[in-house]
Structure 1
Amino acid sequence: MISSNVSSIQANQVFMNNNANNIANVNTDGFRPSDTILKDSSDDTVTADTRLADDNGSTKSQTDLTKEIPDQISISTSVSANANAIKTQNEMFGSLLDIKA
């Protein structure tokens, strides 16, 4: 169970890295941002698939801040939820060990 939370945090880290790179290059002429999609795998893990965004032919940066900023909020919320789930599981295991001892 914890492994699915850990894989989600790791996938969100990849997403955040790509997102931060896109934002950092918002003023770089000709920059094409990366698109990241999180996918659930059949083995209860989460993976991040990244691809270069389609070229719209602009000589300016193609980073869309109206997409990138909400993505950061979503990533932060997801990591927080997964970290809380791991913390709760850890506390439950600790309580079980206390009962067993």
Structure 2
Amino acid sequence: MNISNNVSSISAHQTLLNSSAHNVANVNTDKYVPNDTKIVNKGNDTSVDTNVRKADDNGYSKSQTDLTKEFPDQIVAEKATGVNVTAIKTQDEMFGSLLDIKA
């Protein structure tokens, strides 16, 4: 059990949510090219991180934000954060129980 993996996942999903919210906020901005945010593994362990880059510009004069992508991304970020918070709470309770047994 490693709480730092859950914390890195929460941080990565917060970055995804921030990027998505920025894209949605600019949905009516002409020529806006949204950020494309991907969650990726950090090497050989189970920690995750984010890669944020500008999406490919298609030259369209209106905003290129795709709301059919942004809203599901926000739901995923919310649910993943909830799962990781639950895992941290469970690990904390288990650690407390082990300390009680040892004492």
Q: TM-score, normalised to structure 2's length?
A: 0.95
SS in 2 for 1:89: helix
Q: 1:62 aligns with which of 61, 64, 67?
A: 64
- Tell me by how many angstroms 1:44 deviates: 2.5
- The amino acid across from 1:39 in the alignment is V
- The amino acid across from 1:81 in the alignment is V
The 2-side partners of 1:69 and 1:39 are apart by: 20
SS in 2 for 1:48: strand
SS in 1 for 2:85: helix
* Unpaired stretches in structure 2, ≥5 consecutive residues: none
Aligned residue runs from structure 1 range 34-45, under 5 A: 34-41=35-42, 42-45=44-47
Q: How many residues align?
A: 101
What CA deviation, in whole Å up to 9, does each residue of 1:1-56 have, x standing for no partner? 11110000011111111000000000001100000110112233100001100011
- The amino acid across from 1:88 in the alignment is T
Q: Match for residue 26 of structure 1?
A: 27
* Unpaired stretches in structure 1, ≥5 consecutive residues: none
SS in 2 for 1:32: coil
Identity across matched positions, percent:
58
SS in 1 for 2:73: helix
- The amino acid across from 1:4 in the alignment is N
Aligned-CA RMSD value: 0.7
